[in-house]
Amino acid sequence: MSSLKDIKSEIENYANDSNLSELQIVEKLEKHYFDKKVNENLKLYKKGKKKVSEITKDLKISPRKFYAILEKKKIGHNKYKKD
């Protein structure tokens, strides 16, 4: 519990030093750690060790959003036609 208090106080101190609010800082941290987790999963996806369904379950995103990330990062993947 004390570590959480330390994190809160660090965020408050950083907010006082910068022009950002606490919520903006938390959003930036969330984006940073989400991107970090995505990059780890992309490495496993490229090696074929992890499937799309496993990755989307871990990241709690839709497959469509994951495929958009793949296209954004120019990583090849199979597209299936809806016939």
DSSP-derived secondary structure letter, 50: S
Question: How far apart, in Å, do the first and last CA atoms of the chain sit?
Answer: 54
Give, for all 83 residues of the chain, the pLDDT tens digit: 679 999 999 999 999 999 899 999 999 999 999 999 999 999 998 888 988 899 999 999 998 898 899 888 887 776 666 65
Q: Which whole-number Å values give the CA distances from 5 to 9, 42, 68, in the listed order?
A: 6, 33, 37
The predicted pLDDT at position 73 comes to 84
The predicted pLDDT at position 76 comes to 78
Cα distance between residue 17 and residue 2, in whole Å: 23
The predicted pLDDT at position 33 comes to 96
The predicted pLDDT at position 14 comes to 93
